[in-house]
Amino acid sequence: MGRNFYDWNASTRVLFGPGRLNDLGDQPMPGKKAMVVISSGKSTRANGYLDRTQAELARAGVESCVFDGVGPNPLKSAVEAGAKAICDNGCDFVVALGGGSVLDAGKAMAMFAAQPNTDLWDFAGGITGKRMKPSKPSLPWIAITTTAGTGSEVDHHGVISNPDTNEKIGVGAPDLYARLAIVDPELMLTVPPRFTAYQGFDALFHSVEGYVSTLHNPMSDMVDRAAIEHVGASLVRAYEDGSDLDARCGMAYANTMGGYSMELTSCVSQHAIEHALSAFHHDLPHGAGLLLITRAWSTFQAKHTPEPERFVDMARFLGKADAADPMDYVARLDELMHACDVADLKMSDWGITKDEFGPMAENALAAYPDRFAIDPAPMTKEDVVAVLEESFS
């Protein structure tokens, strides 16, 4: 099972480790004027990360301006507004400074700003995207990640939401790898516990899904095992004490490995179903959406997969040394969720209603047939609805 081949173009230069933001000014820059993309929240400014980044860019001889219009689950309109600001200000590269939403949006802006007279959805997949190839090279971009979740600093797609079509799908281009990524766990010390948990479980699930996908291969197994082990050793510690730099380093490492996993294999239907949830409910954080469905989804997969030993492996990677049954993975997952106080999230808290389950299942299957195609155990629409119903409270 799985494959004995892989493609890996990990072309992003990664500076990993505490304090590495201070090295930005010493790096060769891909342009003369940067658009620094940050979130619409206050934290990037309040924590001093924006000032520090702009000072480092100035030290490297680069001018910079700021676009601060990216929200959670970044919207098509935010990417379009950012791309316009890049063009209007004559910027020749992008620096995305923030969490996964900012990195995904900044990455999509770097591509879209270079394609005049187009619509972002010309380059999207999913249900209504036109799947066109960009005709011009993307602008270069630099990733500075302030959270441990998406691994977006080393992959070449951004996930963007289109509220007009209820789609939340990937937009990318083959040249959209960041030129440089800074993964500095010191920048993650200020992430509040609740978001440390949401993002940490997202990082875990990228590698869990990669590990059980039918595309798994020797290289992805190495990366995914490393990520899952680091989550097992570090997530609860980072949740309980956000100032634990060693735990933050472990989660940052797991996060970047998860990004590599998406290049070597792919997420499967768990992510496709979550994207349908947050496409219908934009204020649902991605990690929370995954946590809502993960026990029911994992139980279905652990019971039906033709490779049950992979679920036993993952329970061991997460710290259950005596694991012997695929459901031990679900039990260990449940323990971690309780330890991070995210075992009792409720769909109804985000306004999700049962009558949406049919349309959500259809949306997930239509937007992501490629992810369902590589599931360990195939899922029908009825199976997806059953997982959603079992997850409801």
The residues binding Zn ion (CB under 5 A) are 202
Kindly state the smallest distance separating residue 159's Cβ from Zn ion, in Å. 8
> How far is it, in rounded angstroms, from Cα 142 to Cα 62?
13
Kindly state the smallest distance separating residue 267's Cβ from Zn ion, in Å. 7
HEC-encoded secondary structure of the chain: CCCCCCCCCCCCEEEECCCHHHHHHHCCCCCCEEEEEEECCCHHHHCCHHHHHHHHHHHCCCEEEEEEEECCCCEHHHHHHHHHHHHHCCCCEEEEEECHHHHHHHHHHHHHCCCCCCCHHHHECCCCCCCCCCCCCCCCEEEEECCCCCCCCCCCEEEEEECCCCEEEEEECCCCCCCEEEECHHHHCCCCHHHHHHHHHHHHHHHHHHHHCCCCCHHHHHHHHHHHHHHHHHHHHHHHCCCCHHHHHHHHHHHHHHHHHHHHCCCCHHHHHHHHHHHHCCCCCHHHHHHHHHHHHHHHHHHHCCCHHHHHHHHHHCCCCCCCCCHHHHHHHHHHHHHCCCCCCCHHHHCCCHHHHHHHHHHHHHHCHHHHCCCCCCCCHHHHHHHHHHHCC
Kindly state the smallest distance separating residue 90's Cβ from Zn ion, in Å. 34
State which residue, 44 or 101, has the beta carbon closest to Zn ion: 101
Q: Which residue matches tokens 């204020």?
A: 283
State which residue, 151 or 232, has the beta carbon closest to Zn ion: 151
Paired with 161 in beta bridges are 75, 168
State which residue, 202 or 221, has the beta carbon closest to Zn ion: 202
Kindly state the smallest distance separating residue 205's Cβ from Zn ion, in Å. 6
State which residue, 140 or 200, has the beta carbon closest to Zn ion: 200
State which residue, 115 or 255, has the beta carbon closest to Zn ion: 255
Residue nearest to Zn ion (CB): 202
State which residue, 125 or 134, has the beta carbon closest to Zn ion: 125
Kindly state the smallest distance separating residue 348's Cβ from Zn ion, in Å. 23
Kindly state the smallest distance separating residue 149's Cβ from Zn ion, in Å. 7
> How far is it, in rounded angstroms, from Cα 330 to Cα 332?
5
State which residue, 114 or 292, has the beta carbon closest to Zn ion: 292
State which residue, 12 or 261, has the beta carbon closest to Zn ion: 261
Strands 157-162 and 93-98: unpaired
Kindly state the smallest distance separating residue 271's Cβ from Zn ion, in Å. 6
Kindly state the smallest distance separating residue 371's Cβ from Zn ion, in Å. 12
- Residue 2 CB neighbour total at 10 angstroms: 16
Kindly state the smallest distance separating residue 274's Cβ from Zn ion, in Å. 7
State which residue, 159 or 318, has the beta carbon closest to Zn ion: 159
